[in-house]
Amino acid sequence: MINIPTFTLCSIGPWVTLTGFAILILMLDALSPKGRKAYFPQLSLLGLAIAALQTWRLWGQQGTDFARMVYVDNFALAFFFILILGTALTILISRHYLEDYGKNLGEYYALVLFATVGMMLLASGAHLIMIFLGLEVMSIAVYVLAGFFREDVRSNEAALKYLLLGAFSSAFLLFGIAMLYGATGGSLYLDELSKVLLVHPFSRSLALLAIALLIVGFGFKVAAVPFHMWTPDVYEGAPTSITAFMAVGVKAAAFAAFARVFFLAFPYFMVDWNMLLWVLAVGTMTLGNVVAIAQTNIKRMLAYSSIAHAGYLLVALVAANQLGAVSLLYYLLAYTLMNLGAFGVVILVGRVKDSYLSIYDYSGLGFQHPALAAAMAVFMFALAGIPPTAGFVGKFYIFSAAVQAGYIWLAIIGVMNSLVSVYYYLRITVLMYMRPAEADLGPVAFTPALTAVLLVTALGVMFIGIFPGFFYNLAVNSVKVFPGL
């Protein structure tokens, strides 16, 4: 007889809802006549709103469900909020952009929702296989999305590159999981791993190998150096809205799993993976920031900047203390807002079919479109980590965590990297405010959705920068699930 585990449907509500809405959209897409498909964004937003509501109802729960396969705890739920927020903003910036390309299709929204489901699985997986499943659900959807403009050569290149390298990295991850399976003698539950690994002294070398392989797998998804090679090309080639989605959602989800696995399963190997991640963090920050200086395509610049931000987030992982976990959550929230806002501006300035993607197209923007430029300036200063924005508070937490853990040099390298990043973020403001326009930019189509995104993100970046207390306490509440920290 097959033993079916008991579960509460409620605890997996957000996934069920999003999957349901994604399937619904696919069905409707097939059934509804051409030209009547304009309501998909609204439908997906409705799904996300319901999922958010369900997440909110679950808030405060402690424990696992579905045969201990998923965690239902505040850490996962906090990430759900961040992911849902990121997805909702992505959908809001997508519609107008897709219409430009004549690609406002149902499957786009369905895929975005599927990817979100995968991300949420990643953030809450309690079993390594679950985490792998989440990773794949997310990745496959994003591979397709990256190549969504199928007539566009760059988009094709992006999809193919991402698929090939992504599959490769998934294999690494899976291989690492297999090693652990051997090392522990058959258990892949995160909460058991640490104990089992402790009592099996002979498994140490296997576990170390597994850790290294897992770092490769996760490092690929978060775009850490030296696993970052795909990032600039994929980010540049993918549709801008998907670039934003990848830079924010994929990264956040991968970091959630990264943190969960390493904090819960390998506390006894902290010395080993700390050293490795230290090197990765320094390399990621430095390469991302230094190479970003040389970019003249705004999407490439933001791609390298996202690599650099992955480096800062790795610093939080290296710190491996409570504050580090808090800063991870806080920074990802801030990063979601500021990066999606910046991509919103990129879409607006790029206008019809991304015709203006060079950073020099921002020349004189400050005086032709003051509101747009002001929003971009806010995002740039936030990404550079200048107060009173959320970006500053986030960096402040991250470097606090590093200092608290005794990694002063890491903090110093980190702040020096911020200094480098100031240069290229400032260059955008220089172009916007201090250079004459190269050509008349003409009118910019402020659709209500994009205006809303810019307003929400810009005000949000300022608000959680000036009043970080609420979110800080929320994050502190969420990371209590890691007793070892």
Binding site for other proteins (CB under 8 A): 320-321, 367, 381, 386-388, 392, 396, 399-400, 403-408, 411-412, 415-416, 418-419, 422-423, 426, 430, 433-435, 468-469, 472-473, 476, 485
Tell the burial category of 14 from Cβ atoms under 10 Å away from its Cβ (0-12, 13-18, 19+): buried
Tell the burial category of 463 from Cβ atoms under 10 Å away from its Cβ (0-12, 13-18, 19+): middle
- CB of residue 191 vs other proteins: minimum separation in angstroms? 19
Residue 250 or 318 with smaller CB distance to other proteins: 318
Residue 403 or 452 with smaller CB distance to other proteins: 403
- CB of residue 81 vs other proteins: minimum separation in angstroms? 20
- CB of residue 252 vs other proteins: minimum separation in angstroms? 23
Given a contact cutoff of 8 angstroms between Cβ atoms, the answer to whether 383 and 425 are in contact is yes
Residue 103 or 480 with smaller CB distance to other proteins: 480
- CB of residue 461 vs other proteins: minimum separation in angstroms? 14
- CB of residue 386 vs other proteins: minimum separation in angstroms? 6
- CB of residue 186 vs other proteins: minimum separation in angstroms? 30
- CB of residue 397 vs other proteins: minimum separation in angstroms? 9
Residue 168 or 268 with smaller CB distance to other proteins: 268
Residue 434 or 445 with smaller CB distance to other proteins: 434
Tokens of 101: 């390309």
Residue 181 or 423 with smaller CB distance to other proteins: 423
- CB of residue 267 vs other proteins: minimum separation in angstroms? 9
Residue 126 or 308 with smaller CB distance to other proteins: 308
Residue 101 or 433 with smaller CB distance to other proteins: 433
- CB of residue 484 vs other proteins: minimum separation in angstroms? 8
Residue 213 or 431 with smaller CB distance to other proteins: 431
Residue 303 or 485 with smaller CB distance to other proteins: 485
- CB of residue 466 vs other proteins: minimum separation in angstroms? 9
